[in-house]
A = this chain, B = another copy of it.
Amino acid sequence: MFSLIPVLVAIVCILIVWIFKNVARGIKRRKEEPRAQAEARPCVHDNLKDSTGLHQVEEDADAWQESEISVEHVPFSHTRYPEKEMIKRSKEFYELLNKRRSVRFISNEQVPMEVIRNVIKTAGTAPSGAHTEPWTFVVVKDPDIKHRIREIIEEEEEINYSKRMGRQWVTDLKKLRTNWIKEYLDTAPVLILIFKQVYGFAANNQKKVHYYNEISVSIACGILLAALQNAGLVTVTTTPLNCGPRLRMFLSRPTNEKLLMLLPVGYPSKQATVPDLKRKPLDQIMVTV
């Protein structure tokens, strides 16, 4: 019986080593599984690496204008201009948009609301993934609500500046004239807050993912900026950091909506200045093959 003790100790040692190895392997496997899955589909998501989780789904490249149900196809009617006129129109449109600048100094003069309605209707002509039109434009004119929006944004911005930003970023910002005081949120006669609807609801009330919602809504914002410039109004493209949930709740927007952008809109104030920035020349942004 004495000889049993070393045998028992040996068995226990083997047991302990075995348990350790197995548990360790379990951890390792758990860690590696997602990667192994990803590698099995090497090409998937790679070009969407920089895109949202919602983009990272199986998606048809061609689904941009189709709705869920089959719709009738009708002849497309097209306005064609003579070549000379095409060149003239494209040149004039470039000259118009090239005058657009982000303007932070906005006068408190009222703007015609019919123009605001028209520019938002224009933004609503943008294409969208699966024709979901996943945008909501909240137009704020009420001075008290504008002021509360300013308070929310300045509170969060002050925290951004003093706590959340990295040292390099704060150093960079010292060189700029930018700070967390956003006077234009009070003075601009209109604020347009653009929300993206990250999902919608199907007929059976089930959640329906809105593919490419951020890209779609950003395209609509591009068209909105062009429409504002065409009408002679100014704005500045802002994406208030960390303020989305508070502004969403303050404006009573539903949980499927997320703030993408805020545009203060109006006429420039008399003393408005802009940084003397240049745009890249065509040969730095275009490559011909």
Contacts and interface: CB of A to CB of B under 8 A. Distances in A.
B89 A232 contact: yes
A139 B268 contact: no
Main secondary structure of the interface of A (DSSP, over half): mixed
A58 B160 contact: yes
Contacts of A126: 222, 225
Given A61-B241, A62-B178, A241-B59, A93 B68 contact: no
Count the copies: 2
A276 B72 contact: yes
A87 to B, nearest CB: 5
A43 B276 contact: no
B137 A125 contact: no
Category for how many chain A residues contact B: 35 or more
Contact of A244 (B48, B67, B73, B145): B48
Interface in A268-289: 268, 272-277, 279-280, 282, 285-289
Contacts of A142: 289
B227 A93 contact: yes
A289 B138 contact: yes
A60 B122 contact: no
A9 interface: yes
A54 B239 CA distance: 14
18 contacts: A15-B16, A20-B23, A27-B27, A47-B241, A47-B248, A60-B161, A61-B239, A67-B275, A70-B175, A75-B272, A80-B232, A87-B112, A93-B226, A133-B285, A139-B289, A215-B260, A215-B261, A222-B225
Given A62-B178, A133-B279, 9 more contacts: A1-B5, A27-B27, A61-B157, A61-B238, A75-B272, A86-B112, A86-B115, A90-B230, A94-B119
